[in-house]
Amino acid sequence: MKILVPVKRVVDYNVKVRVKADGTGVDIANVKMSMNPFDEIAIEEAVRLKEKGAATEVIAVSCGVSQCQETLRTALAIGADRAIHVETDAELQPLAVAKLLAALVAKEQPGLVILGKQAIDDDANQTGQMLAALSGLPQATFASKVEVAGDRVEVTREIDGGLEVLSMGLPAIVTTDLRLNEPRYVTLPNIMKAKKKPLENVKPADLGVDVAPRLKTLKVAEPAGRKAGIKVADVAALVDKLKNEAKVI
């Protein structure tokens, strides 16, 4: 069984995001970029399934600018067998990415697609669901445990009331949550090995997909600063302020 794992290049989670002066977007000039943390969990889970014997090949996919190949090399260093880069300079929105991935699913015929539930840059949480709809495959989102047995996959997912267990026939789509696993540390020998692993480069046109944006960003702004808190002398003063100033009681 093949496992396809889409990975996204995003601003590193340790970096403080800055908005451009003209409000058109986020400033990424000279900013450290890395693999989306949820996608890192996805590639780790795929590699673990391969190590258990549930899969024979792990394929990493990334869509975007040429620098996405660095992210793919990281995925290869974690344990992916080969990579596919869909190269484009266009602004990629979730629907366009889902269409590109659907075309690759049709081409590669993976038994399982594992991807992060959302990217930390746009927090859209849409690509996995759109891919499932376009591909006509069953889906399980927010996975905290994944087990493959034969031609079925059992996914434990986190919901408001606790845990829900879903059993689906393969092929299927799974999106990962934070508690699914802890990604391994990438060692230098594996980084060197990743340089020799195959990385295929394709264009959206090769897959027959139009990636033109459907949505337009009107303005990007930083959230308003939080006001400083105050100290009160006693409970009576607190209740008075909550009642008469905040008007929440």
Q: Tell me how far the alpha carbon of residue 10 is from its chain's centroid.
A: 10
According to the model, what pLDDT value does residue 108 have?
A: 96
Length of the chain: 249
**The amino acid at 226:** R
Task: Cite the DSSP H helix spans in 79-203.
Answer: 94-108, 127-135, 188-194
pLDDT, tens only, 123-169: 999 999 999 999 999 999 999 999 999 899 999 998 888 899 999 99
Delimit the domains of the chain by residue range. Answer: 2-244
pTM of the model: 0.87
101-113 burial by CB neighbour count: b if 16+ within 10 A, else e? bbbbbeeeebbbb
Identify the CATH assignment for 2-244 out of 3.40.50.10800, 3.30.460.80, 3.40.50.620, 3.90.25.10: 3.40.50.620
Name the token pair of 124.
Answer: 């859209």
pLDDT, greater one: 225 or 88? 88
Averaged pLDDT for residues 215-235: 87
Q: Edge-to-edge strands of the sheet including 2-6?
A: 162-169, 152-159, 139-149, 172-176, 112-116, 2-6, 57-64, 82-87, 199-202
Averaged pLDDT for residues 63-87: 96
Residue 245: pLDDT band (50, 70, 90) is: confident
pLDDT, tens only, 76-126: 999 999 999 999 999 999 999 999 999 999 999 999 999 999 999 989 999
